[in-house]
A and B are shown apart, each in its own frame.
Chain A
């Protein structure tokens, strides 16, 4: 017997959530109606007495003050159309899980495995719309067919039939073998149809390896035949995937450029690891790096007693298919990276950076793509739930818009953490599983979620992209687990920890096995969400909220007991060994025997060619507008510049109680902050600044200068709020379009050259700035290709920076503070309009890309500025980025609720003879500073020898007045009007 309990707000009360959806239907779909109300349906797949049903309705489901409940009958809500949205079988249903726990507790029962509790949403629409309209609302706004089911009922239509989304499977779980002794076409077919993402050369490597006599002998000795098993093939494909192995970043590249040709042996080793190694050796005993590139996240010193951990990930492909689930999983997924670094840390901040197509996109949507508005809202909500529910403040981020992100949105999620430098007498950033330690999986159960996530993200989005790659995160199961594991850490109950992300157990156990020298994993002991998984699926599943730990056998009982007491599932899946093998069993029979050196080192290096030819764009030729007021207002309203307040207000940026510089600052708490500052430890005034740089438009001209600009921007962000330029670290996250030359990517060699150039800049700038990269990630296949439509993202790098703020009481914000303060410009302005927002607003790209022309001088300037900030000399500081000086002036003015009088002729200029260029050029390395009357002399002294000029004053009159190079007024704007333009596009 199946029961249905439906709960809704009393009809006398307004339904704000319903109204909000009604508004979105109107703005996004242009469909209007009178009213929309929402109800929650709970479907209980078990027979219950009327008394029990009444009891759980009152005790679990209904808020008696504001809600009505209906047991096995329809709510008394008038409607013309009713849309019912539920989950497909096996999709994570968080509300259902919570409800099930409460029902079992209330009735003192346990549901049997074949029973269950499922939730649905009901949308009651009142209004004169057609069935087509109702279908459109269901399909394009309320439900995602990949993970959800939808049904539309007209008034009066029978909806009594309850389809229970129970997972059913008849297939028997067995380990199968695959014959690789086949021709090349067949090898490629195996790879393609299995979503293995292995190349012919890689498939041949596997085939040849399994033919070797010594390999066959080893397998025989373990009771395995000569053919590769599905578990082995899947584990190898995932370990060797682009996602996990970074094949392109580790390739041997022949780099051809006009100046000549040279060989690069691994971009990663040469430039990224290479720059960090050089910085660390130059820093000598002042080196603050503790663990770089080898763990799930990078670790640096915070102070003598604490370490700081930081990681940024991308979750692009899943977010393209299911924006909400993809982004939610992105944020809770990256939480586990710092959590699984060293011995594990407390998580203290999140960052999020999104790249979307503009919300007002009006073209035809290619197949399988969602409208950018829907992607935006889904991603926003996913990060809201992931961050807010985990109790981690979302402190910093950005949103970048470009048409080319239609094919693949980018969703960058970052998480920072903090851990005592020493835990139980040992350095916390080191971990090591020992032979004999138990393999214990904690947290959620295993389902078919996210199978092939690692290999899927190593491909472009295509017709057959698997829906199982989509997962929905569960922040509360994860929070319970992390609460428990921090206790277990402090009680010294485990020796090593890592997360289950891409590749699931195969990856986590396969990686940890390297610490001890081997592992024996028993798949049939793993707890499953539902029956019917194949052994290889259990091995590969990317079901969320799981960590794998190594527990010494003598501590196993205590570990399990603590887990049990805190309602956290923990399962002993085997043991770490030192026989050099990753051995997997299914019901005591071997399912995989993989030597660790072949698993991790057997992959042949890729050989690629890169060819650089500078591209020349049309150079615009238009006269400078006489009045730049309208130009400034127009730029403020551009997607990439406008206020993101609406987004920010929905993220908790205060939790943990250490917020110092918030995302919104100023007199009305609505101006843009350059970077976040927080106090991770409430008993001390030492803080952390977090900022980022991203500038994909510059990639259209030269990725070298794109990379230089984003590093500089991230550094300037955090220096502007008070970070010490001598104690900062960076994270590089590359999102590229496929840079491997092929039939479908005829310009692969150029794209690879773009990648080479970005890496060269990374080395050149970070080594001068002495900002070591401590972790990073690359996502190399951000392309869309279905039918004849092919969309590639612009090469995009997010550079995230963290820095130490020695005393948060010295932190500075970007808003002008007092009338009479002097306004200074730091850094030289050049004619660098290529790829700028100003040119983009006129439909141009141009060629004069903004350059970090003199990095030595730039970082020396930042050090001088930092000394001035420490001396309390700086009233406000704002870094110049999109839209240049003009936008920074407007923002500092309206944030402070004060006007300013500015003289462009007083700017440090090089080769600039136009007012529009002076105002909107995006030359990096510049900051806008205001200084109080008492501090001006000291400030000018501190900046002596650097390009620093007094360009005007802060005024009481709420107008921004700019005098052009020839002395005439070129901007005269009401700051409230400027702010209105800036806030208009996305709202507050």
Chain B
């Protein structure tokens, strides 16, 4: 089977090229970069693809809060009377995979597509807000992976080392117990971990933003929708690693495992 990925672009998205590269190396036969306006205009049909990746960037400058204005665009753009958000939900219900990275993850949470605990993909229950440090953070972080999660993107991965680059990465739930519940239900497949112990941590800078329960990424109950703040596409080769000149590393970057998992899942489906 030929597997195809769709990567939206435009309005401040800026990681589309490295995301395409990661998908191609991971084995996707076709990777199309499509401007959000063409998607919203109905010029491109998402149902021709099996995976949609919302890449990192600064959608609309994050001017109203990260991805807030773009969430508004997706909720209020219509393709033949159908709202774009409803199309995306239909895509998920039809078995499609969705991945959101950094700004793309922020978008998915603001749309309500993550964590969608009760299966409602349009109600926001979780948000990503300003880092506790009060500033943009560009640094590498260790991620502990929940092996009990059914997230298809993190299968077989035990630990990841990836860069974060964001000002609004702190996970906060609508209620105080929500983050704990997400961890309990294995809907938080990746969490910020101490570099020394690989255990989830609230300590800065290992947890770079003060995220509740050290959550770095979320999945839905199907395991087919996944979003995370760190950038797996930015660790596509060993020379991306900040200590590659002093350590023995595999040629391929660890981050590509996320994309390979998606490709494998689709081929096996």
Residues of A near any B CB (own CB < 8 A): 9, 13-14, 16-17, 19-20, 59-61, 63-66, 94-95, 97-99, 101-102, 105-106, 384, 388-392, 474-476, 479-480, 483, 565-567, 648-662, 664-667, 669, 679, 682-683, 808-809, 811-813, 815, 817, 896
Contacts and interface: CB of A to CB of B under 8 A. Distances in A.
Given A566-B35, A654-B234, A817-B245, A479 B12 contact: yes
Contacts of B223: none
Nearest to B233: A657
Contact of A59 (B10, B18, B75): B75
Given A479-B14, A480-B10, A657-B236, A16 B134 contact: yes
B134 A475 contact: no
Interface in B218-255: 231, 233-234, 236-237, 239-240, 242-243, 245-246
A474 B58 CA distance: 12
Nearest to B20: A682
Max count, chain B CB within 10 A of own CB: residue among A17, A106, A388, A651:
A388
B245 A480 contact: no
Nearest to A22: B134
B173 interface: yes
Contact of B21 (A61, A654, A682): A682
A20 B138 contact: no
A919 B239 CA distance: 33
A440 B68 CA distance: 32
Contacts of A97: 63
Contacts of A94: 61, 63
Given A94-B63, A389-B61, A669-B243, A105 B76 contact: yes
B61 A649 contact: no
B225 to A, nearest CB: 18
Contacts of B132: 14, 16
Nearest to B172: A66
A973 B246 CA distance: 24
A479 B35 CA distance: 13
B142 to A, nearest CB: 12
B198 interface: no
Contacts of B18: 655-658, 682
Contact of B61 (A60, A475, A682): A475
Contacts of B239: 660, 679, 808-809, 811
A815 B62 CA distance: 37
B264 interface: no
Given A9-B129, A480-B12, A652-B138, 4 more contacts: A65-B126, A391-B12, A391-B14, A479-B11
Given A65-B174, A389-B12, A667-B243, A476 B138 contact: no
9 contacts: A9-B129, A63-B127, A65-B172, A105-B73, A476-B11, A649-B139, A679-B237, A682-B17, A682-B237
Given A656-B18, A657-B233, A65 B61 contact: no
B243 A565 contact: no
Interface in B13-61: 13-15, 17-18, 21-22, 35, 37-38, 41, 56-58, 60-61
B56 A655 contact: yes
A89 B233 CA distance: 43
Nearest to A813: B245
Given A95-B64, A480-B11, A682-B18, A654 B138 contact: yes
Contact of A476 (B61, B130, B174): B61
Contact of A13 (B17, B134, B172): B172
Contact of B72 (A19, A60, A652, A659): A60
Interface in B117-174: 124-127, 129-140, 163, 165, 172-174
Q: Report the contact-size class of chain B (Cβ under 8 Å from the partner).
A: 35 or more
A654 B164 CA distance: 9
A651 to B, nearest CB: 6
B68 A17 contact: no
Contacts of B41: 565
B139 A60 contact: no
Contacts of A483: 9-10, 35
B130 A17 contact: yes
B203 to A, nearest CB: 15
B68 A476 contact: no
Contacts of B68: 60, 63
Max count, chain B CB within 10 A of own CB: residue among A9, A105, A648, A682:
A682
Given A667-B243, A669-B242, A98 B64 contact: yes
Given A61-B64, A65-B172, A657-B236, A102 B73 contact: yes
Contacts of A679: 237, 239
Contacts of B4: none
B110 interface: yes
Contacts of A17: 130, 134
B72 A655 contact: no
A565 B57 CA distance: 21
B138 A59 contact: no
A65 B15 contact: no
Given A105-B76, A655-B14, A817 B246 contact: yes
Contacts of A664: 242
Contacts of A9: 129
A763 to B, nearest CB: 36
Contacts of A662: 242
Contacts of B183: none
Given A16-B132, A64-B124, A653 B60 contact: no
Given A16-B133, A66-B127, A657 B21 contact: yes
A65 B64 contact: no
A76 B172 CA distance: 21
B111 to A, nearest CB: 12
The 3 closest A-B pairs by CB, nearest first: A391-B14, A657-B18, A20-B134
A662 B132 CA distance: 25
A105 B131 contact: no
Nearest to B41: A565
B96 interface: no
Max count, chain B CB within 10 A of own CB: residue among A59, A66, A105, A650:
A66
B76 A59 contact: yes
Contacts of B124: 63-65
A655 B12 CA distance: 13
Contacts of B22: 657
B189 to A, nearest CB: 21
B21 A683 contact: yes
A96 to B, nearest CB: 9
A453 B239 CA distance: 43
Max count, chain A CB within 10 A of own CB: residue among B57, B61, B240:
B61
B79 interface: no
A26 B243 CA distance: 37
Contact of A649 (B12, B75, B137, B173): B137
Contacts of B57: 391
A566 B64 contact: no
A394 to B, nearest CB: 9
B5 to A, nearest CB: 16
Max count, chain A CB within 10 A of own CB: residue among B69, B234, B245:
B245
Contacts of A815: 245-246
Given A479-B12, A565-B37, A63 B246 contact: no
A312 B65 CA distance: 32
A63 B131 CA distance: 16
B37 A566 contact: yes
A13 B242 CA distance: 34
Nearest to B140: A669
Max count, chain B CB within 10 A of own CB: residue among A20, A650, A667:
A650
A651 B110 contact: no
B32 to A, nearest CB: 14
Contact of B131 (A16, A60, A61, A666): A16
Given A65-B172, A654-B231, A812-B245, A388 B129 contact: no
B44 to A, nearest CB: 12
Contacts of B135: 20, 649-650
B136 A388 contact: yes
A388 B56 CA distance: 11
